[in-house]
């Protein structure tokens, strides 16, 4: 199994500012992902965070808006840049352990942009 922590757990930010969310895993993992979830809605994959190389972004998400760092196999950050109210959401970090199809999720960061 994997235990994931995220910081901050929630934040209220002003329009036009940026927020960096941290994700820490208790073991080394190859595959790490960032998702977004509106309350009561489904989870949408933003990107796969690759260690040592640029993240792989899904359609509709770009690096300038959501820069991601992955300096090692236990840590990643997601930055939400130049925020607007439409960015208000829950952002979740997730990992998949090698040899399994089970994904573990962090507790999420609840972001509100005013």
Partner 1 sequence: GQSLEQPSEVTAVEGAIVQINCTYQTSGFYGLSWYQQHDGGAPTFLSYNALDGLEETGRFSSFLSRSDSYGYLLLQELQMKDSASYFCAVSGLSGAGSYQLTFGKGTKLSVIP
In the complex, which residues of this chain contact partner 1 (CB under 8 A)? 31, 33, 41-45, 48, 56-59, 92, 96, 101-108
Cβ atoms 51, 98 nearer than 8 A: no
Which CB atom, from 48 or from 51, has the smaller least distance to partner 1?
Answer: 48
- For residue 1, the minimal CB distance to partner 1 (Å) is 10
C-alpha 77/C-alpha 110 separation (Å) is 15
CA dihedral 44, 104, 6, 3 (to 10 degrees): 180
Question: What contacts 101, CB < 8 A, 6 or more positions away?
Answer: none
C-alpha 24/C-alpha 12 separation (Å) is 22
- For residue 68, the minimal CB distance to partner 1 (Å) is 13
- For residue 108, the minimal CB distance to partner 1 (Å) is 6
Which CB atom, from 68 or from 106, has the smaller least distance to partner 1?
Answer: 106
Give CA angle at 44 (90, 53), nearest 5°. 95
- For residue 16, the minimal CB distance to partner 1 (Å) is 29
Which CB atom, from 83 or from 108, has the smaller least distance to partner 1?
Answer: 108
Which CB atom, from 86 or from 101, has the smaller least distance to partner 1?
Answer: 101
């Amino acid at each position: 199994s994997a235990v994931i922590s995220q910081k901050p757990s929630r934040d209220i930010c002003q329009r036009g500012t940026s927020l960096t969310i941290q994700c820490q895993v208790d073991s080394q993992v190859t595959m790490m992902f960032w998702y977004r979830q509106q309350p009561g809605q489904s989870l949408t994959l933003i990107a796969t965070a690759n260690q040592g190389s640029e993240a792989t972004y899904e359609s509709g998400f770009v690096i300038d808006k959501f820069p991601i760092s992955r300096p090692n196999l236990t840590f990643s950050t997601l930055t939400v840049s130049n925020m607007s109210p439409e960015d208000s959401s829950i952002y979740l970090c997730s990992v998949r352990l090698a040899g399994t199809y089970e994904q573990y999720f962090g507790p999420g960061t609840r972001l509100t942009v005013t």
